[in-house]
Amino acid sequence: GNRLCPPYPECSGEESNFWYQDTSECTEIGDLNFDFSINIQDIVLLVSFVLDESDYSYQEFVAADYNQDTDLNVLDVVGIVDAILQVD
């Protein structure tokens, strides 16, 4: 019940009942500041993560890796910008 959001790390053993997590407050990939909205603030935060590779937590990394290639870079920024522009 640590309130960690998926995707979980491979070493977590998530298939056991021990690994239950309360995901009721989880946000979607791209919501880096966890305010339940993907917007310019998330892009600014992602750019700061890309420039300073050591300044984010695991959960922030998961939310920031928009294309889920295990690397934070400009492709993640482009993906989040595209997601923002696609919203009607």
Residue 8 predicted with pLDDT over 60: yes
Q: What is the pLDDT of residues 15-73, one digit of tens each?
A: 555 566 777 777 788 999 989 899 999 999 999 999 987 778 888 888 999 999 999 99
70 phi and psi, to 5 degrees? 60, 25
Q: In this structure, are residues 34 and 27 in contact, taking their beta carbons and an 8 Å threshold?
A: yes
User: Which of 66 and 2 is assigned the larger pLDDT?
Assistant: 66
Query: What per-residue confidence (pLDDT) applies to 27?
Result: 78
